[in-house]
A and B are shown apart, each in its own frame.
Chain A
Amino acid sequence: MHGIVGYGSYVPRFRIKAEDIANQWGADAEAFKRGLLLEEKTVPGPDEDTITISVAAARNALARAGIDPQKIGACYIGSESHPYAVKPSGTVLIDAIGAGPECHVADFEFACKAGSEAMYVAYSHVKSGEMDYALGIGADTSQGAPGDALEYTASAGGAAYIMGSQNVAAEITCTYSFTSDTPDFWRREGEFYPRHAGRFTGDPAYFHHVTSATRGILEKSGLKPQDFAYAVFHMPNGKFPLRAGKMLGFRQEQMEQGWVVNLMGNTYSGSSPTGLAAVLDVAKPGDNILITSFGSGAASDSFVIRATDRLPEIQDLAPKVREQLADRRIHLDYGKYVAYRGKIRVNEM
């Protein structure tokens, strides 16, 4: 049996409400909230970035896995907001959690899909017998240009997954990926904010890949939507995952637990991994869980995951996603938000 032996999430404390962004730009707040099905989003603090989020999530995953970090043979961070253009994020991570130096490290990037990519490669290592444990993380401090529709959703957070073959808490029973050259969203070298092709990001990009990957894994696994207790689809906004799920024959009740976007925003590479963590926080042994990520450019990775008897034993060993979403929130006004996000130009000291 191969799969998840420990998982952990991290949700920053800071929030900004959708209406505070709308008011800043003279936009109709209710229309945005209705259109995006979103109340507020997380904001990284001034000292937080993809690396700190990854470390926090990885520590929670280690607490649940209960393993010696020295036994982790590979660490991968998937993100589109690695703090450095050249210099790995993963090296900081392995020293912070004590997994180095005998460890394979790489930073992944594939728009919002980089997290599930890291999970997929980590899972493949343990499945092949190459190593005992491997760590895959999706984390982001997402960028959205001020005034752009993305500003309402681009948020921060992440989740970490330790894969292994011993003491598996959630078995990965099937994987499937669906990829094509579909340029719906991009950021060129040197550009500060990503660009997107408007409504092209919808049907031909998100929906085509999410539904194709999900249909592919359903066929490959022989499972039907009603065989799943939970389903998680990448959450660029509130509406898209619910619509995709409905198109595929999933019911609202299957999607609600992992649908964290209304309170969290789109954590890009951390989005569907965080939704999965919220599901693992409550799933019962035997529950089948579907997760389908999406990354612009474009591709979706799908996993079928089955909770084992060990899952309930580890659920309480680290903070749960919905606890972090509800507790200790600090709401920022727009001015503080742009200051925290480094959007104000100041002189170099």
Chain B
Amino acid sequence: MRDVAIIGAGSTKYGELWTSPLRDLFAEATADCLVDAGVDRKQIQSAWIGCMSSGLFNGQEHLASILTDYAGLSGIAATRVESACASGGAAFRAAYLEVASGASDFVIAGGVEKMNDGADATFCLATAADQEYEVYHGVTFPGLYAMIANAHMHNHGTTYDMMAHVAVKNHRHGALNPKAQFPREITLDTVRNAVRVAEPLGLFDCSPVSDGAAAVLLAPVAVARDLGKPMVTIKGSGHATDAIALHSRPDPSRIPSVGMAARKAFAQAGVTTGDIDFCEVHDCFTIAELCCLEELGFYEAGQAGPATLAGETALGGRFPVNPSGGLKSKGHPVGATGVGQIVEVYDQLSGRAGDRQVPNARLGLAQNMGGSGGSCLVHILEVS
């Protein structure tokens, strides 16, 4: 396999983007990405596009063709990738493998979701859970993560305050991100006093419903070297699946697909958790950030919460987590999220993350998962 580099990145702002249709979101992110890369669109050979549910959200399928057409890329190979909220990460991995295999030199990994278009977002998102055994009985994602939270509190001593601190920290980070949906700080009392959605999770424990798109351009390292940019390469790519239904797993306080994907990515990269300078993790709910940090191996079970309370995972701390603001503050346009995380890691490693720059960042990790962990992607990126 060839070594692969990221040579450009672009993203729309995340938010309630009422005046931007689905196709415009993708076209904007792609145009930004190509301008950033300095590569002519005629050179692009292929695109992999993550999108969870344009059929339900927007009544639009056959997505890869319509999106590439409106992005001025008609004629290239293009495929839509679906793995629920991990669709973006899965699209990025597919693009990476296409370049690594030698099949193509310039491949776009994109992600897009337009969730504010009139559809019932809770219903659409619940299709990522097990319809027959979970959704049929009335549970939706806040309920599933509330069960994970309760199990985590019971098994590992995590407290609600630890989760609340995740929200406060990620909003502090997001306040520094001009692309964030909610770029403002919040107080601990705001999180604590917010209306409960599913005990113990309140409104400010949940990521928002968002519109947005993100795109990166991949090329072989040999080609990237000629462009004279910071050399950000993909060191490791791990992908794992698991049972979708929470009750089909041995321990509801754990999300095994995260660990499985991480072990594959770390093995390929030849690095360990101690080498990673910062990470973007899938904080769709505050409890998810704590679970994922533990599954990734950065903390023992039950230790991510105390580390968060101690400020370790904040910008300026020992190990910054979600410097972008995460899904919580930056927003969660589900199909775009995985690629948006890669954009953030790329910006950090390129030293262009502005006020939220992690100093001396050399190795970064992005973790993106589908549903309550039925699928997971972990990528490790390095700048040299």
Contacts and interface: CB of A to CB of B under 8 A. Distances in A.
Contacts of B103: none
Contacts of B19: 204
A28 B18 CA distance: 29
B16 A203 contact: yes
Contacts of B116: 199-200
A197 interface: yes
Interface residues of A, number: 7
Nearest to A27: B195
Interface string B6-34: 00000000001011000000000000000
A79 to B, nearest CB: 27
A203 B16 CA distance: 9
A223 interface: no
B118 A200 contact: yes
Contacts of A199: 16, 116
Given A203-B16, A204-B18, A28 B195 contact: yes
Contacts of A203: 16, 18
Interface size class of B (residues with CB under 8 A): under 10
A197 B120 CA distance: 10
Contacts of A282: none
Nearest to B18: A204
For the residues of A in contact with B, the DSSP-based class is helix
Interface in A254-268: none
Interface string A182-212: 0000000000000001011001100000000
A203 B196 CA distance: 25
A31 interface: yes
A204 B118 CA distance: 13
B332 to A, nearest CB: 16
A197 B118 CA distance: 6
A211 to B, nearest CB: 15
B120 to A, nearest CB: 9
Interface centre among B18, B19, B118, B196 (most CB of A within 10 A): B18
Contacts of B18: 200, 203-204
A91 B369 CA distance: 64
A260 to B, nearest CB: 26
Nearest to A32: B195
Interface string A246-278: 000000000000000000000000000000000
A15 to B, nearest CB: 25
Interface string B191-203: 0000110000000
A197 B121 CA distance: 12
Contacts of A31: 195
A261 B22 CA distance: 37
B119 to A, nearest CB: 10
Contacts of B16: 199, 203
Contacts of A28: 195-196
A310 B195 CA distance: 50
B201 to A, nearest CB: 14
A197 B18 CA distance: 12
Interface in B164-215: 195-196
A27 to B, nearest CB: 9
Counting from the closest, the 5 A-B pairs by CB-CB distance are A31-B195, A204-B18, A28-B195, A197-B118, A203-B18
Interface of B: 16, 18-19, 116, 118, 195-196
Interface of A: 28, 31, 197, 199-200, 203-204
7 contacts: A28-B195, A31-B195, A197-B118, A199-B16, A199-B116, A203-B18, A204-B19
